[in-house]
Structure 1
Amino acid sequence: MGAFTVLRGRAPPPSVSTPVQGTSLVAIWNLQYSGTGPRGGYINGAWPSGITPGSGNTNTGIPAYLANIISTGVGFVWANHDGAIFLNVGSSTVTISNYDFTLAPPITWDGTGAVIFNDCTFPQTAAFLGNALASPCNINGTINTTPGSTLTTTCNYCTYNQGVFFAGSGTWANDHCLGTNLNQQWGGASAATITNTWCYVPGLGVAPPTSGTIHIEAIQFNANSPATMTWQSCLVNVAAEGQPNVGSGQSNYGWTAIVTSPVGTGVVLYQNCIFIGLTEMNASTVGNNHIPYFITYGQVTPVTITNCILESGVFGYTSNGDGGANRPVDGGGNRTFTNAALTSASSGWN
Structure 2
Amino acid sequence: IPLRLKVDDPARLGAAAAPGEGERIFDPGVAAQITEILADPLARVRGLHGRGPFVLPYPVAIKTGTSSGYRDTWTVGFSHERTVAVWVGNADGSGTASLTGASGAGYLFADVMRRAMDDVAARAPLWDPELLVAVDVCPLSGAPAGPACPESVRRLERRRGEHDHTDRLDEPCTMHQHVRRDAAAASGWRCDPRGTTSAVVLGDAYEEWLLAHGPRDPTTPWISEGGTPGCGDPGGQTPTLRVSTPANGSVILLGARGGAEAQVIEVEVRVEPPALAASLGELEIVVDGEVAARTGWPFRATIPARAGDHEILARPADPGLSARFEPSRIAVR
Say yes or no: TM over 0.5. no
- Which TM-score applies when normalising by structure 1? 0.20
Larger-Rg structure: 2
Q: Which has the higher contact order (CA 8 A, sep 6+)?
A: 1
TM-score (norm 2): 0.20
Between structures 1 and 2, the one with greater helix share: 2
